[in-house]
Amino acid sequence: MRILRSVRHKSCADGSFMKEFLLSAPVPAGFFAYLGNFGEVEALPKIGEGFYKFEKPDWFSIKGLAGDTTVEVRFRKEVMHLTVDFLYLLFSSYREGPGGSLGAEAEGAGGRETGERTPVWA
């Protein structure tokens, strides 16, 4: 899953900067569990089933609906230049499966015990 482009952006009254990103695939529910490794994740069922909010305090937040192809990201302007690349990495490194971002890599690592090698990019 990759970020394709920003489809909407605006400056917010609280001083943050919001961007809505279009993704290459629908967001799987497991993606929000994966984000829990990097900050705080909260399910918001009162807004809608499958709606989640992720927050990395003082950096950025992500709001989105599992199964949707867009997410809303709010950046703190002061650190936006530092966090945009990290955000792209979060989306591009996620792999569905029990290992989250380590899904493909974990399978390849297991092959080392038997002498088999699986490229990470396979």
At 40-68, the pLDDT tens digits run 999 988 887 889 999 998 899 999 999 99
State the DSSP H helix or E strand holding residue 74, giving kind and residue range, or none if neither.
strand 70-76
**16: nearest Cα among 55, 82, 64, 61:** 61
Contacting residues for 105 by C-beta, under 8 A, at least 6 apart: 95, 99, 120
**Contact status, residue 17 vs residue 77, Cβ threshold 8 Å:** yes
- The domains located in the chain, with CATH, are 3-112 (3.30.310.10)
pLDDT of residue 63: 95
pLDDT lower than 70: segments of the chain? 97-122
Alpha helices, H only, 5-79: 29-35
- How far is 5 from 14, CA to CA, in rounded Å? 24
- Tokens 């945009």 label which residue? 84
The model's pTM is: 0.74
- Mean pLDDT score across all residues of the chain: 81
Would you give the DSSP letter of residue 97?
S
Q: What percent of the chain has pLDDT over 90?
A: 47
**Contact status, residue 24 vs residue 16, Cβ threshold 8 Å:** no
